[in-house]
Amino acid sequence: MRKVRAIEFVSLLASLMILVSACGRQPTAANSAGDGGPQRAIQNKGSDTLVNLALAWAEAYRTVAPDVSIAVTGGGSGTGIASLINGTVDIANASRAMKESELEDARQNGVEPQEYTVAIDALAVIVNQANPVSQLTIDQLADIFTGRVTNWQAVGGNDAPIILVSRETNSGTHVYFLEEVIRQGDSENTDVFAPQTLLMPSSVGITSEVQRNPNAIGYDGLGYTDPAHEKLIAVAKNAGSPFVTPSVATGADGTYPISRALYMYTTANPDTTIAAYLDWVRGPEGQQIVAELGFVPLSPP
């Protein structure tokens, strides 16, 4: 009994010592890293459309500036912007421009957001590969997604119900599609998605439903679609204009009608580390990654 006690005591003492020394060492470790230039962490959050791109940038940037670590999280454009307003992130990713109400909220919090266009995204409309429909006009898309047309027959397909698939309402992609396709840029138009639209919490939710459901139609960023597993619909601006298949080329030259800018937001006058990162992102190296991931680079690299 006595012996056991002694052992317990020694082990307790030992673990305490380890704990104390570990606590003591932490600041020193930080200091030694500080000798080679301060380790800088950038918090980057927002759009799920941008998250893969932002991760690829962050990873590649490690080789450019090893002392800067960038933490990327998704959550949606609204989430990222809200975090910027609340001051919990350095860079907010957004697949839409900030709304007037958000700018007001930001100014009330003493934040003056600064906008950077970082890439162009073409929004691809996708259907199952078994679906005979391969081209649609914006008008037809609006009819389909508002529920005015509920059978594929009406747009030249099989006699089958149309299953609508969309992102959740907190997604910038959802808002963009609503404004530019369903309402065709008309601010007076109050059409919305049909209530029977399936709202998916992620991009993968959309592509997987389209891949396995022959009657489904969805939309997603071009970088998230895979022509090998789902069919990309060629879209025409109106009945008279040509049908254009979405691709990096047609997005860059502006012939594909559903494309949009992707943004990063910082507070006004970001510090040099953040500014350097954004310059790199918008420079040739960053834009090379944009093209590799299936998005459209700002200017042809």
199 makes contact with other proteins (CB under 8 A): yes
Task: Name residue 92's beta-bridge partners.
Answer: 45, 265
Residues 87-106: x where in contact with other proteins by CB under 8 A, - otherwise, as a string: --------------x---x-
Tokens found for residue 270: 């970001």
Q: Of the ranges 110-118, 136-144, 196-204, 288-296, which one interacts with other proteins (CB under 8 A)? A: 196-204
Whole-angstrom distance, CA of residue 159 vs CA of residue 174: 28
Whole-angstrom distance, CA of residue 126 vs CA of residue 175: 18
Residues 202-241: x where in contact with other proteins by CB under 8 A, - otherwise, as a string: ---x--xx--xx-xx-------------------------
CA-based radius of gyration for the chain: 25
146 makes contact with other proteins (CB under 8 A): no
Among 27, 110, 185, 195, the residue binding other proteins under the rule CB under 8 A is: 195
50 makes contact with other proteins (CB under 8 A): no
The least CB distance from residue 168 to other proteins, in Å, is 5
Neighbours of 180 (CB within 10 A): 16
Among 137, 140, 146, 197, the residue binding other proteins under the rule CB under 8 A is: 197
The DSSP secondary-structure symbol of 155 reads: G
Given a contact cutoff of 8 angstroms between Cβ atoms, the answer to whether 96 and 202 are in contact is: no
Tell me the residue type at 102: E
The DSSP secondary-structure symbol of 197 reads: P
Among 42, 68, 127, 175, the residue binding other proteins under the rule CB under 8 A is: 175
CA distances from 117 to 7, 222, 298 (A): 64, 17, 8
Among 66, 156, 161, 284, the residue binding other proteins under the rule CB under 8 A is: 161
Q: State the residues that interact with other proteins by CB under 8 A.
A: 75-76, 78-79, 82, 101, 105, 161, 163, 168-170, 175, 190, 192-193, 195-201, 205, 208-209, 212-213, 215-216
